[in-house]
């Protein structure tokens, strides 16, 4: 592969990976603030089950989005790497991230079902 193409793809991979990490960082900050507000309301005796479900759905969807960006970054990286060990490592990362996204998706589906039942 020409050196310029490799450099461009590596830069693009870093940008995509950075977007994934930025989504995670912002999600954690947003979740911390919303969860603290939730706890204060709960301690005041307010019923907050619906609000808590919304917070969990929002958190889960943002985590899955960040994981998607990281998987894209891994796929780009796999086109640039030519050693078997690196490809195996990348395959394991993609498998772990995809499994996490799958189970978070299942959890979100259950949360939506709970919300539908409580209405």
**What pTM value is reported for the model?**
0.82
Which pLDDT score is estimated for 44?
Answer: 86
Which pLDDT score is estimated for 88?
Answer: 87
Residue 119 has pLDDT above 80, yes or no: no
Write the pLDDT tens digit of every residue in 8-33. 999 999 999 999 999 999 999 999 99
Q: Residue 41 — very low, low, confident or very high, per pLDDT cuts 50/70/90?
A: confident
Contacts of residue 15, defined as CB under 8 A and 6 or more positions apart, other chains included, come to: none
CB atoms within 10 A of CB 59: 18
Residue with tokens 């796999």: 78
Which pLDDT score is estimated for 51?
Answer: 85
Q: How far apart are CA 21 and CA 44, in angstroms?
A: 35
Q: Residue 48 — very low, low, confident or very high, per pLDDT cuts 50/70/90?
A: confident
Q: Which of 74, 69, 73 has the alpha carbon at shortest distance from 89?
A: 74
Contacts of residue 79, defined as CB under 8 A and 6 or more positions apart, other chains included, come to: 9
Span of 13-17, 83-87, 107-111 with lowest mean pLDDT: 83-87
Which pLDDT score is estimated for 28?
Answer: 95
Residue 117 has pLDDT above 80, yes or no: yes
Pick the more confident residue, 98 or 79: 98
């Amino acid at each position: 592969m020409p050196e310029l193409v490799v450099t461009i793809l590596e830069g693009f991979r870093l940008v995509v990976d950075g977007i994934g990490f930025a989504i995670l960082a912002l999600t954690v900050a947003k979740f911390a603030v919303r969860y603290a507000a939730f706890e204060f309301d709960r301690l005041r005796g307010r019923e907050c089950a619906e609000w808590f479900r919304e917070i969990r759905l929002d958190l889960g969807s943002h985590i899955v989005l960040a994981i998607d960006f990281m998987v894209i970054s891994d796929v780009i990286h796999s086109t640039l790497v030519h050693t078997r060990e690196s490809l195996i490592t990348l395959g394991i990362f993609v498998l772990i991230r995809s499994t996490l996204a799958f189970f978070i998706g299942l959890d979100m589906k259950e949360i939506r079902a709970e919300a539908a039942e409580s209405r």
